[in-house]
Structure 1
Amino acid sequence: MTARSRDAALPVLEDFPYRLSDNVRFADLDPNNHVNNAVYSSYFESGRVSLVKDKANGLMPPGLSWVLVRLDIHFRSELHWPGKIELGLGVVRLGRTSTHFDQVVFSEGICVASARSITVLVNEQSRKPTPLTEQIIGNLKRWALRGVELA
């Protein structure tokens, strides 16, 4: 039996509490006839923005906004057009001013890409990081990745 590193572990879509569907667009392709690596950033952005901008989730208090400060993508498999994709997102860590998300793109049951993204809450006027409020923390906890206990 061979031990697997954590990086080799394949994500499971059902572990991600926030999910949405999208389509692969013809414009997403590059000359190799597969989805261009830069497009995955847009897929991951769609997941994060859909979550935080939905007023029902209570993650956008007046005067505050979220800024992406890091995005690490693991490209796992080629993705082609036409096709449908499932996006998944789960909170894995809460910092003083930041939120760490694990995100995935699935197509036909296969994880084609995964990412860790870090966003920072900023004051819209000063553009400086601002601490997460208790309300935001409480609202983010319901989106914790399965198996992750958020402090």
Structure 2
Amino acid sequence: MNAPALNASTPRLEDFPYRLSDNVRFGDLDPNQHVNNAVYATYFETGRVTLMKDPQYGLLQPGLAWIMVRLDMHFRAELRWPGTIELGLGIVKFGRTSVTCDQVVFSDQRCVASAQATMVLINEETRKPTPLTAELVKAFQPWLRRGVAVTPPNFS
């Protein structure tokens, strides 16, 4: 018997508070003339990095950096060129040193791919994981995925 697929239900774009648009590029295609599966990792990276590195959101702190430690992707439909895509991201979990987000790629109001990514906060000098701060957790609050109960980390 097969295990049930993670995130098997179809995501809704409106549940992802961080969104941006991007283009499908001709170079994203494989010989089958649809977007190559490896390109989706770049789409998801664009969504994460655009949010994390924007100084107005306060998700970067001096001496600390984010590294991705896990990316689970679910391919839902073919995506072709030309076209535009909508990227969505929502935080679903806080760990002691990590943040996990759900991400989606939509095209023509249809979810073509979804993913879950886990990022760990590290000390830039030691390259070792470091605990999340209350300030960082507060900065992530606008980006919590709608419809998901997200428990804040225990700072005691």
Q: Which amino acid aligns with 1:115?
A: A
Task: Show the counterpart of 2:73.
Answer: 73
Residue 8 of structure 1 and its aligned partner are, at CA, apart by 2.9
Question: Where do 1:116-127 residues align within 5 Å?
Answer: 116-127=116-127
The question of 1:111 aligning with 2:111 is answered yes
Report Cα offsets for 1:31-61 as digits up to 9, x if no partner: 0100000000000000000111000110000
TM-score by length of structure 1 reads: 0.95
Q: The residue matched to 2:150 in structure 1 has which SS?
A: coil
CA RMSD after TM alignment:
1.3
Cα gap change, 1:20/1:12 in structure 2, threshold over 3 Å: closer, same or farther? same
Q: Where in structure 1 do 4 or more consecutive aligned residues deviate above 4 Å?
A: none
Q: Which amino acid aligns with 2:13?
A: L
Q: Aligned equivalents of 1:8 and 1:97: distance in 2?
A: 27
Report Cα offsets for 1:59-98 as digits up to 9, x if no partner: 0001111000000000000000000000000000000000
Task: Show the counterpart of 1:131.
Answer: 131
TM-score by length of structure 2 reads: 0.92
Q: Which segments of 5 or more consecutive residues in structure 1 lack a partner in the other structure?
A: none
Q: Which amino acid aligns with 1:128?
A: K
Q: The residue matched to 1:141 in structure 2 has which SS?
A: helix
Cα gap change, 1:7/1:149 in structure 2, threshold over 3 Å: closer, same or farther? closer
The question of 1:27 aligning with 2:47 is answered no
Task: Show the counterpart of 1:82.
Answer: 82
Q: Aligned equivalents of 1:59 and 1:8: distance in 2?
A: 30
Percentage of pairs with the same residue: 62
Count of matched residue pairs? 148
Residue 29 of structure 1 and its aligned partner are, at CA, apart by 0.3
Q: Which amino acid aligns with 1:150?
A: V
Q: Which segments of 5 or more consecutive residues in structure 2 lack a partner in the other structure?
A: 152-156
1:141–1:150 contact (8 Å) kept in structure 2: no
Q: The residue matched to 1:11 in structure 2 has which SS?
A: coil
